[in-house]
Structure formats: C-alpha cells, structure tokens
Structure 1
Amino acid sequence: MTVRERLYRTTSALQRRIVPELKYSQASYEDELRRHLPRAQAWLDVGCGHRLLPEWRSEAEAELLARVPFAAGIDRDYDALRKHRTIRNVLQADIGMLPFQERSFDLVTANMVIEHLDDPLHQFREIARVLRPGGVFLFHTPNLKSYVIRIARLLPDRMKKSLARVLEGRQEEDVYPTHYRANTADGVRSIADRAGLDVVSIRFTASTPVFSLVPPLAVIELLYLRQVMRRPHLASHGQTLICALRRPAE
C-alpha cells in the first residue's frame, strides 16, 4: 500500500467517526444524473474532457451511457478529447457555439465545467437552444461561497496547479482557468431566467475533505463539515452546487 493510500484510509476512518453521513459530491451528482437519464433519448455532455465521472467510476460511466440511445460530448481541449474513455461521438467545440440543431437533446450535462465559463448567460442560452422543450440542463460546479473556493481564489494559478497535483492527483494540463460567474444560487437563478430556463432545483452539497492527504487538517475540515451538514443556516456554504434547469415545455 502506498503512502497516499494509507493517508486516504486514515482520513476515511476519521470521516466515519466524525461525520458518517458525509458523501462525496461526485457521488451525489451521479445519483442526480441517474434520476434524469430514464427520460433522455439524446444526451450531450459539455466540457466532457476525457471522462464524465471520476477515474474510478469508469464502469459506472459506461453503464450510464449504455442507457441512452444517443450520447455526444464536446470540449475545446482536443488533447483531452483524444483520451476520452466512453463517449463515442465527441467533437471539439465551444459551449458558446454548439454544432447542433435546435432541440437536439433531452439532457445536457456539465460536471465541474460551469466555473470555467467566461460568458455564462450566452452559453446557457446556447444550451437552452439545443434542449428540447421540457429538456433538462444538469450541472455540478463549485459553490463560490464555500471555504474551498474562497481560499482558492486567493492563490496564484501556479500554486493552484501544484495543489491540484498534490491533493487531487490531477495533471497540470487538466487544470483550467476559472471565472466563477455562475457559481452562487442567486447567480444561477438570474442567469437561468435571462437564458429562458426554469430552475427545477439547486442543491448545496458538502463533500469529502480537500485535505484528505493531511490528516491533522482533515480533522479540522471534517469538524467544520459536520456543522455545515447539521445546521440548516450553514447549508449554503457546502463545497458544490448541483443544479437542474429546464427548458419550458410548449
């Protein structure tokens, strides 16, 4: 067992003792995705990169895609698309200029992409254009009000890339510039309304510790997360948002 694996196991044991109800936000997003997939005949994932779900969920990712008659993915990063592991129909394209006809998809998703959008109003309008009436735009993104993002915004890009590599095992080429222009509940509601999308739900989600590899810091983080999860007035400070928007039915 590597040192990294031992540290993760230590933090997992601490998590089970301090806040056993805590769930990884990616697992919460996957649960929400499973709720919407049964009604989808055509699914588009924007900013798909080289995967839809975390690395260790490759089998689940393939199983989800097998449920939908047609699935496509787009991303601006050609090198990431070349390594994509599950979606067969991938295209290099920008979210602000989707290469699809109007009303092409029942479901559009974005996993940890919205924080990178430079003009979310325009990009949400483009997503609304390709959604069929009644279609859903589901996305998972960091919450601007969380302690993680408040700290991250104070750091220079070079340090962010180094921390992402050490704490998350992400390669430097997988760390992209962030803008956080649609990363609060109020911001999502405002942009959705102007883009012609109805808000179905906005969930604040707590997640596993960022400092899992540093158990003393993880203990402090877990104690804080316990308060976030158990005190309703602190819920809006969860690490991520999971939002579902719908194009109105006609």
Structure 2
Amino acid sequence: MGGLTDWTYKRFWAHVEHPYRRLRRRLLELAGPGLTILDAGCGHTAPNLQELRDSGATLIGVDLVHLEPQPGMELIEADLGRIPLPDASVDLIYSRSVMEHVVDPDAVYGEAARLLKQGGRWIFLTANRWDYVSIVSRLTPNRFHAGIVRRFEGRDEIDVFPTAYRTNDRSQIAHYAAAHGFRIDAFERHGQYPAMFYRVGPLFLLATFFEKAVIKLPFLAGLRGWLYVELVKR
C-alpha cells in the first residue's frame, strides 16, 4: 500500500503472529502419516490443505462452492451439516474463517461429532461476534457485505459469504460443544492488524491503536477479533 499504511504495519504488526499462522502451526504439529484430516470449508482450491501435503496424512476438503481438483487430496462439494463420509472416519477436522457463516450450528456440530473418531479433534479459527467488525457486520444486511468488503479490503465478491455469528463467543461454543459430546480443550482470543482498514492509511493507524489496547488490556480481551478453539470428542 505504501505510505502511512506500510509504516504502521512495519512499526506495530510485522512481528506479531497472525491468527492464521497460529492455526497453521498447530496443524503442522498434529498432521502425520496414518491420520485422516478434513478441512471443513476448504475453499475453491483448498489452499490450507495444500500446506499439509507433505505430512503423509489423508487429506479431504469439503465446501459448498465449486471445488477445483487438486492432486493428493479428495475434495467434496457438500454442506457441512451433511458430509458423505462414514461414521468415525476422521481424526482431525479444522475450519478457518468458516464458523461465522454457519446458520445451523446443531447440524454442523452433530456432523463433526459423527465423523470424528473417539478422541478426535476439531480445531476452528473464527471471528469473535463481539469484535467491532463483527458487530457492524451483524447490523448490516448481508446484501451489502460484498460491496463493503470490496471497497475496504479489495476482496472479490465471489469470496464473500453471508454471516450468521451463531457460534462465535464462549457461551455459544460451550453450549453446542456440550450438546454434541465435545469438551473444550483450548479457547484463545487473538488480535490482529485491522485488515478492514488496510487500504486507508489514517483509519488503519487509528484502528491499530484500538487493536493494540484490546490486545494489551486484559479487561478488553473479550473484544479481540479472533477465537481459536480446539474441541475434543469425548
């Protein structure tokens, strides 16, 4: 971007681990030969699964969007609440930036519980419903989301999906986890650079000051933008 945006990023964020990297690091720790790993909401080309190709694991991706065939993995076009795989056939499920779009959490949690083996793990990274971007998103009709995201983030409309925020805080997650036989093994709140304002330097700097306060001050932890969750099937 140049100018103020670049200065702000280099000064405040260049050495901060992005939540995406937190998830990637954990997946690389867990992935290994003999495991079956499912990316629930993998995207058109399953980019996150591609990073696990050298792990020796069996890789499966599921999404409702059109999936382009990728070597070394099985991609399935299906709803996350109805995945055509056998019971207890998966060791690890993960989702990145997906759970905020789930409109029927009971169906998705139930399907994850059905697919996972005993002691299997489900990891997801999702937006916190109490982050300011999530609050604005919830107050804004979904039909306007694509235009707003295109303007501020430059993201293509094809990659913008309706949001629901029905399993995006501690109480919601605990409710559905307990109802479907999961225990919460990890629950973390993470901040990150304010990507929504990356294209507008002054707003990016102002939002950075807010984000840094939210990250630093414990009493504001509930406003951090990302939730990292690990559930284990009982």
Q: Same fold (TM over 0.5)?
A: yes
Structural mapping, 1:235-250, within 5 Å: 235-248=221-234
What amino acid does structure 2 have at the position aligned with 1:6? G
In the other structure, the counterpart of 1:6 is: 2
SS at match of 2:126: strand
Among 16, 27, 30, which residue is 1:36 paired with?
Answer: 30
1:175 aligns with 2:171: no
Distance in 1 between residues matched to 2:104 and 2:216, nearest whole Å? 35
Relative distance call for 1:143 and 1:52 in structure 2 (3 A) is farther
> Offset of 1:35 from its aligned partner?
2.9
In the other structure, the counterpart of 1:211 is: 197
In the other structure, the counterpart of 2:107 is: 122
Distance in 2 between residues matched to 1:193 and 1:216, nearest whole Å? 44
TM-score by length of 2: 0.90
Check whether the contact 1:15–1:22 (CA below 8 A) recurs between aligned residues: no
What amino acid does structure 1 have at the position aligned with 2:202? P
In the other structure, the counterpart of 2:54 is: 66
> Offset of 1:219 from its aligned partner?
1.0
In the other structure, the counterpart of 1:195 is: 180
**Which one is further off, 18-27 or 36-45?**
18-27
Distance in 2 between residues matched to 1:20 and 1:49, nearest whole Å? 27
**Which one is further off, 137-146 or 232-241?**
232-241
SS at match of 1:187: helix
Structural mapping, 1:61-140, within 5 Å: 62-77=50-65, 79=66, 81-82=67-68, 88-140=73-125
CA shift digits 1:96-123 (9 cap, x unpaired): 1111111111100111111111111221
**Which one is further off, 38-47 or 96-105?**
38-47
Distance in 1 between residues matched to 2:104 and 2:74, nearest whole Å? 26
What amino acid does structure 1 have at the position aligned with 2:18? Y
Among 163, 170, 183, which residue is 2:148 paired with?
Answer: 163
> Offset of 1:86 from its aligned partner?
6.2
Distance in 1 between residues matched to 2:219 and 2:128, nearest whole Å? 15
Distance in 2 between residues matched to 1:217 and 1:87, nearest whole Å? 43
TM-score by length of 1: 0.85
Relative distance call for 1:236 and 1:40 in structure 2 (3 A) is farther
Relative distance call for 1:182 and 1:86 in structure 2 (3 A) is farther
In the other structure, the counterpart of 2:207 is: 221
What amino acid does structure 1 have at the position aligned with 2:162? P
SS at match of 2:31: helix
Relative distance call for 1:115 and 1:40 in structure 2 (3 A) is farther
Among 205, 213, 219, which residue is 1:233 paired with?
Answer: 219
Relative distance call for 1:160 and 1:107 in structure 2 (3 A) is same
SS at match of 1:153: helix
Distance in 2 between residues matched to 1:194 and 1:93, nearest whole Å? 23
Check whether the contact 1:42–1:104 (CA below 8 A) recurs between aligned residues: yes
> Offset of 1:19 from its aligned partner?
5.6
> Offset of 1:65 from its aligned partner?
2.6
Q: Percent identity?
A: 28
CA shift digits 1:110-158 (9 cap, x unpaired): 1111111111122101101110111100111110011110112222334
Instruction: Give 4+ residue runs of structure 1 displaced > 6 Å after superposition.
Output: none
Check whether the contact 1:211–1:218 (CA below 8 A) recurs between aligned residues: yes
